[in-house]
Amino acid sequence: MKKIENFLKGTVSLKDKLAPSYINFSNPKYVEINGKFYAGLLIVDYYREYSEIIFRNLINSNVNANISIFLEKQDAFKTIKDLTYAIGNTGVDLKFGNNNKEDIDLAAFSYNDAKYIRKEMQINNEDLYYLYTYCVVIAEDEKELQRNLAKLDSVLQASGLVTRRANFRQEQTFGSCLPIMENSKDLKKVTGRNILTQGLVGTYPFISSTLCDENGIFLGSNIYNNSMILVDRFNKNKYKNANMCVFGTSGAGKSFYVKLLILRYRLLGMEQYVIDPEREYNKIAESLDGTLIKLGPNAKTYLNIFDIRKESIEDGQGYLSSKLLKLRGFFSLIFGEMDEEKVAILEEKLIKMYATKGITFDDNSLYQKPEEGQITIISQFKSSDEMPILEDLYQILDDEKDKFFKLKLYPFVYGSLKFFNHHTNVELENKLIIGDIYDLGEENLKYGMYMFTDVFWDKIKKDRNQNKAIYLDEIWRLIGVTSSGFVASFIYKIFKTIRKFGGSAVAITQDVSDLFSLEQGTYGKSILNNCSIKSFFSLEEENILVLEKYANISEKERVEIKSLKRGESLMFIGDDHILARIESSEYEKSLMI
């Protein structure tokens, strides 16, 4: 037994591990512990009445400090007895005393307050508490300590809180701010102030303007108080949908922010699909083993707009019917706005074209028939090679009657855009797919964007129980004035219905004014309203004015958006408006840039 005791004497206990190597209490103005400096502030008085949370500005300040709030419930019977005695004595002084006395007004205030407290306790069953509040500021050196003390002192004074430096009481203040529930008797004499039950609401400390969703990913920190912002945009109980919009001028940091989202959600195994008009996501596709699909004259990867995929069927519609509706949007980009006659003619030709491949309105026609003598248990869905291409449509068109359509289609079949006239030859099963359309050129980007949107929308619908996201960079090209009503309606439909498929649509643009240019901003406004999370990076004055018209931003927030630095964003997350600083590690940067 003695051997065991001797052995234990030589071991390091938990107490030894927690204890600092040295503590210096010799200076009356601060405490020094392990090279750090600590100084206390005592809150000794408050406004008589508050219309908001008392400690809001204190908790939202970015000063490194510990805060302790103590509440001690008082004995109701004894309190009412003492109040009655004080009311009687003060009433006599007010009635028979000299009205010219200097403290007569203070006595009148005390008399009325005492009567009010007694009434609330007797009639409304309120309880009386004593409130004690202490702050300990932490710094690396004495200069920083004094600077932070002055800053916190000014914040408290501006909130109507009277403070006093805890000189010669630094040890007690430090101890009272430790998580050991110790309220020093020496400090209680100075800081105690009474408060009724209804007033306790004003002392609620957990009111920082930040977010910390349980299963959220880290987006950055609150600019005002450096608290972390963790958001789970797929939390259906908290947010109406998982959609996002990211607006910001070139170089403001919006693309970096989106790539950071892609990277962090990739770690969770989420399916993500990106339309990339500016070739900004190639590096992250390479780093995360994603699939990169390039469309352009020099690319060797192709997509076929006529593909009908197994997951492409819409609720209440057949395969071919669903496809014809989506093709109407694509061809409205090529042929422009069409009247009902042209739409009917085009649809007739498309039906004939699919019929040449054995595809009709009967959904069974999309499944391969077994060869004679072959036994199959599961029917196979037709592959991309069995689908028509643009040349098949071109050949069906009549030279005279359909001259308009043939002229417009010629570049896509035999001309500069003939890379659209191919069967799909890329793998679409990766959880991260980047659609690179940079080589299409400014005038043709909308065709590539629509094709990728069509493909990715089918992928989104594949499994309702799996979270997934589609990122539409420079979305204004699809819902702006250069687009068409058919296409804009299709994009709006994605934002409106993607929630029921477990998906998230992300709208990204630097041209906010162009986003609201089609049909007086109808589609832009609808998409904005269908985004539970909005991130506004620095914008030009013109775009801020447009945003102010369609989004619920205050005058103060308008000024903040204009003055944001690179990597800073004003975030609307549900009902919370937060100024955030986007943050990442050096390793994350190496994967993205």
Question: Hey, what amino acid is at 492?
Answer: Y
User: What are the start-end ranges of the E strands in 161-268?
Assistant: 162-165, 193-196, 217-222, 228-231, 244-247
CA 534 to chain centre: 7
- Specify the pLDDT at position 10: 64
Backbone angles phi, psi at 89, to 5 degrees: -65, -45
Cα–Cα distance list, 472 to 235, 482, 489, 536 (Å): 22, 16, 15, 16
- Specify the pLDDT at position 98: 63
Strand partners, 504: 469
Give pLDDT tens digits along the chain (593 positions). Answer: 666 666 666 667 777 777 888 899 999 999 999 999 999 999 999 987 776 788 888 877 778 999 999 999 999 999 999 999 988 888 887 777 666 565 677 778 788 888 989 999 999 999 999 999 999 999 999 999 999 999 999 999 988 899 999 999 999 999 999 988 999 999 999 999 999 998 888 888 776 656 788 889 999 998 877 788 999 999 999 999 999 999 999 999 999 999 999 999 999 999 999 999 999 999 999 999 999 999 999 999 999 999 999 888 877 678 999 999 999 999 999 998 888 999 999 999 999 999 999 999 999 999 887 665 555 555 788 999 999 999 999 999 988 888 999 999 999 999 999 999 999 999 898 999 999 999 998 889 999 999 999 999 999 998 888 999 999 999 999 998 888 888 999 999 999 999 999 999 999 999 898 899 888 889 999 999 999 999 999 999 889 988 888 888 888 888 889 899 999 999 999 888 889 999 999 999 999 98
- Give the Cα separation of 175 and 234 in Å (integer): 42
User: Please, are residues 502 and 470 in contact by the beta-carbon 8 Å criterion?
Assistant: no
Residues 6+ apart with CB under 8 A from 272: 262, 265, 266, 431, 432, 433, 468, 469, 470, 471
User: Please, are residues 377 and 294 in contact by the beta-carbon 8 Å criterion?
Assistant: no
Q: Token pair 């964007």 is at which residue?
A: 449
User: What are the start-end ranges of the E strands in 30-86?
Assistant: 31-33, 36-45, 65-73
432's tokens: 């991260």
- Specify the pLDDT at position 129: 95
- Specify the pLDDT at position 328: 92
Q: Is 117 helix (H, G, I), strand (E, B) or coil?
A: helix
3-state helix, strand and coil shares in percent for the chain, rounded to the nearest 5: 45, 20, 40
- Specify the pLDDT at position 210: 66
- Specify the pLDDT at position 48: 79
- Specify the pLDDT at position 102: 57
Q: What is the pLDDT of residues 26-45, one digit of tens each?
A: 999 999 999 999 999 999 99
User: Please, are residues 299 and 448 in contact by the beta-carbon 8 Å criterion?
Assistant: no
Question: Hey, what amino acid is at 45?
Answer: D
- 410 by Cβ neighbours in 10 Å (0-12 / 13-18 / 19+) ranks as middle
Cα–Cα distance list, 282 to 252, 472, 510, 579 (Å): 20, 15, 20, 30
Residues 6+ apart with CB under 8 A from 275: 435, 437, 449, 452, 453, 456, 470, 471, 472, 473
- Specify the pLDDT at position 9: 63
Which helix (H) or strand (E) is 489 found in, with range?
Answer: helix 485-497
- Specify the pLDDT at position 209: 56
Q: Token pair 């000024």 is at which residue?
A: 559
- Specify the pLDDT at position 227: 81
- Specify the pLDDT at position 111: 86
- Specify the pLDDT at position 372: 59
